[in-house]
Amino acid sequence: MVSDAQMEFRALRGTEDVFGAAIQEWTLVEARARQVAHRFGYTEVRTPLIEEAQLFSRSVGDTTDIVQKEMYVFADRGGRSIALRPEGTASLVRAYVEHELFKTEGLVKWFSIGPMFRAERPQAGRRRQFHQLGVEAIGATHPLLDAELMALAMTLLQACEITNTRLCLNNVGCRQDRERSSAALRQQLTSHRAELCKDCQARLTRNVFRTLDCKRESCRRLVQRLHVTLTRCAECEQHHQAVLAALRAIGIACEEDATMVRGLDYYTKTVFELRHAVLGAQDALGAGGRYDNLVQDLGGPARGASGFALGLERLLLVRQTLRGKPAAASQEWNRHRHVAVLALDDATQQEAFCVVQQLRHAGIAATMDFAGRSLKAQLRSANKTGAPLAVLFGAQERAQGTVTLKIMTDGTQVEVPRAEVVRAIQARVGPS
């Protein structure tokens, strides 16, 4: 153990190191995410972690908490304003427009897995570096596409053994509807100005929609008391009903939440959240919706789009709560069933090293000890990691041009010629 006085560096607050049993959970969840996304026809995409800061102020919105308070922004050497991406949609739409995919692709269906950065106060379920699975379909306005995305999210959660997720849904209308709703809401709230928190008082003029996202209990209660409803034009209402009907048809239960607007400005029509009781106050596992104006706002043609993002830390937290702690790391190690190659003295180490490499070339997982430990200690760890076989090299074997194979399960030993070692092991364990 390193004492505090000696420890110079620690991971930054709100960030974490992932290893051992935890990394197995990560890779498992990521593998299932990829599987499900592929099944729905989405292909993987990776975009940079850094983008021009303006990309996010233009898309997520200047007046949102994400852009105003949470974005990590710095000037690069050329004086450009760069942001660590706080979310994924803007980057994917930027890539879609930059590569002019609207010219060649009818509909682009993408998913992406990677870290996001927000300078939030770290707490349970809130990190400064966290990971999202983002799924976006760019190039269509059809309501069935919204339903497909929700079905994908629910299927993925089931594939990760997460049950009892609540799907909450609203339709915030088109841009014109949002303007009408904002005006009505502003009028409604202005007469209650004193009851709003300082932030919401400022939001009244800057972006009144944000008051509906306010986490303060007093603001939430006021919104509830006023029975705030959003305006929806006939087309948006029809879209909403079509989404509800599609979800019903495929047997996905949802709850309508008439005041849910989501914290990002680009949403139009459908918005949804996936909530789980296990998460307590920060109960959103994921969220998304339709953003029909964003492609155009970022310099592309008019194209509809829809998507969502799941928070992977929260997903893993819920998974762990429902299933219990993941198995110890060594059990995953067992899956590979590494053959343990043991050098019994210094003179045989290089020979052991060569055999380890030969085994690996032959497709057999193999490891050796580099710590100069005793035979007993090496055998103990071979046992612990579930090695099916140990290969023993010592002075005697060297003199005879052989090695000793020890079958770990029953302790029996056989001598094989040095030149036969790979074949003999292959015959016993096969490729890993």
Name the residues that contact ligand AMP, by CB under 6 A: 87, 118, 120, 125-127, 130, 132, 263, 284-287, 309, 311, 313-314
Least separation in angstroms between CB 301 and ligand AMP: 25
Using the minimum distance from each CB to ligand AMP, give the nearer residue, 213 or 369.
213
List, in order, residues 6 or more apart from 313 with CB less than 8 Å away. Answer: 125, 127, 130, 131
Least separation in angstroms between CB 286 and ligand AMP: 5
Using the minimum distance from each CB to ligand AMP, give the nearer residue, 270 or 367.
270
Confirm if 29 and 232 have CB atoms less than 8 A apart.
no
Least separation in angstroms between CB 313 and ligand AMP: 5
* SS3 state of residue 184: helix
Least separation in angstroms between CB 208 and ligand AMP: 19
Using the minimum distance from each CB to ligand AMP, give the nearer residue, 58 or 406.
58
CB atoms within 10 A of CB 89: 28
Least separation in angstroms between CB 285 and ligand AMP: 5
Least separation in angstroms between CB 160 and ligand AMP: 13
Of the candidates 94, 97, 106, 99, the one whose C-alpha atom is nearest the C-alpha of residue 301 is 97
Using the minimum distance from each CB to ligand AMP, give the nearer residue, 65 or 148.
65
List, in order, residues 6 or more apart from 64 with CB less than 8 Å away. Answer: 207, 210, 263, 264, 265
Of the candidates 389, 384, 281, 267, the one whose C-alpha atom is nearest the C-alpha of residue 340 is 389
Using the minimum distance from each CB to ligand AMP, give the nearer residue, 284 or 424.
284
Least separation in angstroms between CB 148 and ligand AMP: 19
- DSSP H or E run through 257: none
Using the minimum distance from each CB to ligand AMP, give the nearer residue, 147 or 287.
287
Of the candidates 394, 416, 404, the one whose C-alpha atom is nearest the C-alpha of residue 348 is 394
Beta-strand relationship, 43-44 and 108-117: parallel
Residue with token string 């607050």: 13
Least separation in angstroms between CB 16 and ligand AMP: 11
How far apart are the C-alpha atoms of 150 and 254, rounded to whole Å? 10
How far apart are the C-alpha atoms of 223 and 227, rounded to whole Å? 6
DSSP 15: -
Using the minimum distance from each CB to ligand AMP, give the nearer residue, 132 or 404.
132
Using the minimum distance from each CB to ligand AMP, give the nearer residue, 314 or 338.
314
Confirm if 208 and 182 have CB atoms less than 8 A apart.
yes
- Closest residue to ligand AMP, judged by C-beta, is 311
Length of the chain: 432
CA angle 336/381/408 to nearest 5° reads: 70
- DSSP H or E run through 278: none
Kindly tell me the sign of the dihedral angle through the C-alpha atoms of 287, 291, 297, 302. Answer: positive
Confirm if 360 and 339 have CB atoms less than 8 A apart.
no
Least separation in angstroms between CB 104 and ligand AMP: 29
Concatenating the DSSP letter of every residue in 279-341 gives: GTTS-EEEEEEE-TTHHHHTTS-S--EEEEEEEHHHHHHHHHHHH-SPPPHHHHHHHH-PEEE
Using the minimum distance from each CB to ligand AMP, give the nearer residue, 42 or 291.
291
Chain centre distance of CA 282: 16
Least separation in angstroms between CB 15 and ligand AMP: 11
Least separation in angstroms between CB 332 and ligand AMP: 25
